[in-house]
Amino acid sequence: MFEQGITILGLGPGAPEMLTLQAWRHLQSIPEIYLRTRAHPVVAGFPSTLQVHSFDEVYEQSNNFSEVYRTIVERVLEEAQRNGTVTYAVPGHPFVAEATVPEIVRRARELHIPVRVIEGVSFLEPVFTALEIDPFPRAVLVDALELGALHVPNFPTDVPALIAQIYSRQIASEVKLTLNAFYPDEFRVRLVHAAGTPQQKVEDLALYEIDRSPHIGLLTALYLPPLDEATSMEAFLEIVAHLRAPDGCPWDREQTLQSLGPMLLEETYEVLEALDQEHVENLQEELGDVLLLISMLSQIASEEGYFAFPQVVQGIHRKIVRRHPHVFGDVDLKDSRGVLRNWEKLKEAERKENGTAEQKGILDGVSKALPSLVRAQEYQSRAAHVGFDWSDIQGVREKVMEEWEELRQANSPEEIEKEVGDLLFAVVNLSRWYKVDAETALRKANERFMARFKHIEQEARVMGKPLADLTMDEMENLWQQAKRRGK
């Protein structure tokens, strides 16, 4: 006997002996069955009286999997409504890596159609048996199709991952490219083919080799061991939380949102210094220091009930997506100038939505804590985004000379201070037009000055003279010597 409504049946991972007794009894009791695909070894052993239909032609006629799954769901529901009953069978377990079943169950509930699920062994059990490992407690399950469409892996790198549905070399190649963002080419991985069938095979190979395997097929999965300990953001956040815990570090527990502010500024300048020196190892370390402070600030905010780290990530995630409709939407922008103009329009719309448009202008969002050169350049850039700018660089050059002349004619200390400020502001604008960051340019000039002056000090010691006893000509000669060495 078969029941009214929809029966969803799991066919197991492949080997006929892994079909459950409940599933086999149901197959013997029904006149017909609908399969998501005939490409399953168990199908050949179905009762001879069973009429078999499949949705394989839907795969051939559709352009993408989403369309395939929608069509299958609709047809299963239609069959249930027309005949009062239908059995729909899928490979493995109905709720493991099976997109159609959850949607059928959801839609059937809305339509008041009874649903019965006959479970099956999923592909997971034979895969982990083949690997001889226990996935508990931290392994993650990843869809190869989704992973291959990304630019970076979407799971923590310090946990093992099982990547399913690597059914072709092309999918394997796409997965490999995504994983290469974090995992090196030589990283050792394992491909599991046809787990739970007589054709089962496990390959141990380097990551770069996975798309070269001749054994890839419909039942292929990739096992990815952990990259290393302490390589995920989640693990790092646990370290930071531990520092702040009662059994953590007394110094870290004393820190506040306010006390960490100056440290964040200092560490940010150390990142800039590493960038100026093009010192990659230092840059990696300094970025870690900044990340520590960002994580610590988020942890303290969480403890005080303001927000937690996920809200920080979610906020910037949504802002980036919202402000890049030309990347994540259908807005067509041809160049960076168009992007910046649209950026300001979006921020103006946000201000209106938040009820702050009348109180705040486009310059109000620039932090007054920024160094003056940085703030000047940001003011000029934001004004330029809405069209308040010179038409060409000649006008900028003339403005610099105009401000220089006004400085020359200034008499009082107040006038001199004002004109020096105007001249500096004009020079920052000139820097912007040359696509040079004014703060970086001045910082590098400071470094050059320090290096050259140290050369003068060193040569004075070699000469056995106090620095103050050198004549201006001697200092100038040593300065030029240092300048030539620098070049």
For residue 316, is it within any domain?
no
The larger pLDDT score, comparing residue 196 to residue 241, is at 241
Q: Which of 75, 103, 121 is the last residue of a domain?
A: 121
Q: Which of 121, 140, 157 is the last residue of a domain?
A: 121
Output the DSSP codes for 196-212.
Answer: TSTT-EEEEEEGGGGGG
Q: How many domains does the chain have?
A: 5
Tokens of 487: 């070049």
Q: How far is CA 25 from CA 17, 172, 210, 375, in A?
A: 14, 38, 40, 76
- Report the chain's mean pLDDT, rounded to a whole number: 92
The pTM of the full predicted model, rounded to 2 decimals, is 0.77
CATH number at residue 25: 3.40.1010.10
pLDDT single digits (tens) 463-477 = 988 988 899 999 999
Q: Is the pLDDT of residue 21 over 90?
A: yes
Q: Is the pLDDT of residue 358 over 60?
A: no
Show the domain range for 283: 233-306
Q: Which residues in 82-177 belong to E strands, given as ranges?
A: 85-90, 115-118, 140-143, 161-164
Going 251 to 254 to 259 to 261, the CA torsion angle's sign is positive
For residue 185, is it within any domain?
yes
Mean pLDDT of 97-122: 96
Mean pLDDT of 43-52: 95
Please indicate, yes or no, whether residues 99 and 134 belong to a single structural domain of this protein: no
Mean pLDDT of 244-257: 96
Give the model's confidence band at 356: pLDDT under 50 very low, under 70 low, under 90 confident, else very high: low
Q: Is the pLDDT of residue 487 over 80?
A: no
pLDDT single digits (tens) 144-180 = 999 999 999 999 999 999 999 999 999 999 999 999 9
Please indicate, yes or no, whether residues 190 and 284 belong to a single structural domain of this protein: no
Q: Is the pLDDT of residue 4 over 90?
A: no
Please indicate, yes or no, whether residues 14 and 79 belong to a single structural domain of this protein: yes
For residue 384, is it within any domain?
yes
| pLDDT of 382 | 86
Tokens of 20: 């459950």
For residue 427, is it within any domain?
no
Amino acid at 103: E
Measured CA angle at 377 (ends 430, 319), to 5 deg:
135
Please indicate, yes or no, whether residues 26 and 70 belong to a single structural domain of this protein: yes
Mean pLDDT of 420-441: 92
Tokens of 196: 């739970």
CATH number at residue 217: 3.30.950.10
Q: Which of 12-21, 31-40, 351-360 has the lowest mean pLDDT?
A: 351-360
The larger pLDDT score, comparing residue 39 to residue 353, is at 39
For residue 163, is it within any domain?
yes
- Of 187-191, 419-423, 468-472, which has the strongest mean pLDDT? 187-191
Q: How far is CA 422 from CA 150, 402, 446, in A?
A: 48, 10, 21
| pLDDT of 198 | 87
Give the model's confidence band at 350: pLDDT under 50 very low, under 70 low, under 90 confident, else very high: confident
| pLDDT of 355 | 62
Mean pLDDT of 412-428: 94
